[in-house]
Amino acid sequence: MFVTIKNVSKWFGDVIALNNISIDLEHGAIGLVGLNGAGKTTLIKILNGLLKPTEGTVKIYGQNVWGNLDLFSKIGYCPEIDNQMNYLTGLKFVQYNLQLHGYSRQEAIRKAQDVLERLNMTTAMTRKIKGYSRGMRQRVKVAQAIAHDPAILLLDEPLQGLDPIGRYELTTLFNELIKEGKDLIVSSHVLHELEKVSQTIVFIDHGKILGKSNISDLRATLKEIPQRFLIKTDKPVKLAQQLLPYKLIDDVQLKDNEIIIGVKNVQEFSFKLIEVAKETHAEIKELRPLDESLEAVFDYIYRGNY
Amino acid sequence: MSLWKPFLIIYTGGITNMNDIEKIQKNSLSKRGNPWIIYILQIKKYLSGGFFWAVLGSGYLFPLILFVIYSRTHKDLTNYGYWEVSLKLIFEGYFAYYVVLVPLVLATAAFRDEFNDQNIIYILVKPIKRQYIFAMKYLAYLTTSTVVTLPPLLLTVLVANTYSLKKDPYFHEPSSTVLLNTALLVAGLFLMLIGYGVVFMTVSILVKRPLLINLILGFSAIFEVIFTDLINNNWEFLYIAINFISRYWQGFDSLDVFFRRQFLFGLSAINGIWHAIIIILVFFAIGMRKIPQKQLY
């Protein structure tokens, strides 16, 4: 176990953010999944010592987290917030973060350059963060988290707001870090993002841990669960009519130029969709899973209804 | 392995997994962060804010105003008239408002802004004792506020002295007295910057919206009482200035009396300095004690 959480509760005044949770996490990559407000960020903040549990104990590598400076130097944290020190350049931001970890100036500059190059920020690193796109900000946040070569990475919604290429690049990087032997805890409210990174998924809802699942078991279960997708197209009616007869389609809703579609087998659906789009000459402008589908997963797995 | 387990538990303080031990040993020389980076970051943050430059620029209004007053009035300012006008401006304008406003802006913002935009996260998760965070931010505030407030004061004094020496035939202060007066003004400035700074910074850790509380503290109770004591009988002009603020302008007469009774403030200058030092130490101790307990929601 590299993380042991025992009877942890966290209250913010009258509101309970974490409700008596206990869980042990093994080495490797852990995905923390839950809807917005489920308690993921609170748990991550407790794990990196920004919050103190109201009750219970949290240990990483057998050590208490709160106020443990030795542990802080081994943790890399990528927060959910979109604000970074906007008055700095990307390079200075990572460099100062490294110096705050105890690296000398020269060493910090060198390491900062290396890590930013690894994140494809070579040309942008000398520009002020203020002018960065959302994707660049995410990369710089990840860069400062991994630059000091920590043993544990706590990543709070690291893929949020990224375009598909950005998501792919960061997912690839996370997988490389896992191969290097780092322990990762990644939170997201979108399940399919975590599938690509984590070996174990922990479901959290309303401050409670609903359960822990191995990713391969979860994949098998997910095949059975209808998932909802949003399709934006120029010929929504025609496309919907053509798709509806297939058994893998659970339900179809039409709204302006959008189709909201429930499907049972995502892989098969993606092939069918291309086929039907070709036949109907429909242009697929956007295809994305709806975040709400996570709720469906919860309902299906833990509440037994859908 | 199981035979060794109890010893391992004792030796490692509860860590029984060899993998965990290896991970800890990998970084066994746990580095401590460089706290001076917090100082650098804070100064950079001040310099990046537009409000900072407005505050910096407005300080130079005092020597400018004095220069305008002097150049427009040619008569009736002899017999220490130039000198008195400058003191009025320095105490009723510069000290009464500007030297309170600068700490109010800079010291309050040092923590409040970073708690609001959550950038403090990047510092709090580093292997640096939280007390250093407070100390370094405070030091950055002191450096910045000194750079902002000291030059306008010296420039104002320079303008006053130049005019007094040139145009006031009755002004016969030796240069040593002028220097001593200037040194006292600078000492008063530092005491105010140190005092207000630590109070405002500590309040910004303790409460969510510190600006209003700091505004009340800054322009009313604590330091006016101290400075009233500090200059009583010795420097009458400052006494007048402070009285003007706390009683006639702000109407905090009752608070002044309240603090006097509560803390048994005496009336001598020495007492004033002691009270200032006590308040500074108390607030500094509260700040240093509270920052390690601070949680980031």
- The residues spanned by each domain of chain B are 1-30, 31-293
Q: Is A6 helix (H, G, I), strand (E, B) or coil?
A: strand
Report pLDDT digits (tens) over B174-221: 778 788 878 878 887 888 899 889 999 999 999 988 988 888 777 765
Contact B119 A84 (CB under 8 A): yes
Q: Is A4 helix (H, G, I), strand (E, B) or coil?
A: strand
B280/chain A closest Cα distance in angstroms = 26
| Residue environment code for B33-71, b if the CB has 16+ CB neighbours within 10 A, otherwise e | bbbebbbebbbebbeeeeebeebbeebeebbeebbebbe
Reported ipTM exceeds the 0.90 cut = no
Give the model's pLDDT for residue B254. 43
Per CB distance under 8 Å, which residues of A are interface residues toward B?
1-2, 12, 27, 45, 48-52, 59, 61-63, 67, 69-70, 72-75, 77, 79, 81, 83-88, 96-97, 99-103, 144, 151, 183
Comparing A122-126, A199-203, B160-164, B180-184, the range with the smallest average pLDDT is B180-184
Counting residues of chain A whose pLDDT is more than 90, the rounded percentage is: 50
What stretch(es) of chain A map to CATH 3.30.70.100? 225-303
pLDDT at residue B17 is higher than 80? no
**Nearest one of B41, B35, B37, B29 to B128, comparing CA atoms:** B35
Q: What confidence tier does B275 reach under pLDDT thresholds 50, 70, 90?
A: low
Q: What architecture is the A225-303 domain classified under in CATH?
A: 2-Layer Sandwich (3.30)
Separation CA B142–CA B131 (nearest Å)? 16
Q: What are the helix (H) ranges across A228-288?
A: 236-243, 266-280
Find the mean pLDDT for residues A275-298.
Answer: 76
Separation CA A156–CA A133 (nearest Å)? 19
Give the model's pLDDT for residue A256. 79
CB-based contact B123:A100 (threshold 8 Å) = yes
Give the model's pLDDT for residue A294. 57
Q: What is the DSSP string of B51-76?
A: HHHHHHHHHTHHHHHHHHHHHH--SS
* DSSP category for residue B264: T
**Which residue of chain B has the CA closest to A51?**
B295
The CATH classification number of A3-220 equals: 3.40.50.300
Contact B14 A59 (CB under 8 A): yes
Q: Does B43 touch chain A (CB under 8 A)?
A: no
Give the model's pLDDT for residue A241. 87
Token pair of A262 as six digits: 């429930």
Token pair of A233 as six digits: 């197209």
Give the model's pLDDT for residue A299. 60
Report pLDDT digits (tens) over A103-145: 999 999 999 999 999 999 999 999 999 999 988 999 999 999 9
Contact B20 A2 (CB under 8 A): yes
Token pair of A101 as six digits: 């970890």
Give the model's pLDDT for residue B8. 45
Comparing A3-7, A268-272, B208-212, B232-236, the range with the smallest average pLDDT is B232-236
Report pLDDT digits (tens) over B37-71: 999 999 999 999 888 999 999 999 999 999 998 88
Q: What is the mean pLDDT of chain A?
A: 87
With the C-alpha atoms ordered B32, B35, B36, B42, is the resulting torsion angle positive or negative? Answer: positive
Give the model's pLDDT for residue B274. 65
Chain A neighbors of B17, CB-CB under 8 A: 1-2, 62
Q: What confidence tier does A300 reach under pLDDT thresholds 50, 70, 90?
A: low
Q: How far is CA B254 from CA B247, B250, B257, in A?
A: 9, 11, 5
Contact B24 A61 (CB under 8 A): yes
CB-based contact B61:B155 (threshold 8 Å) = no
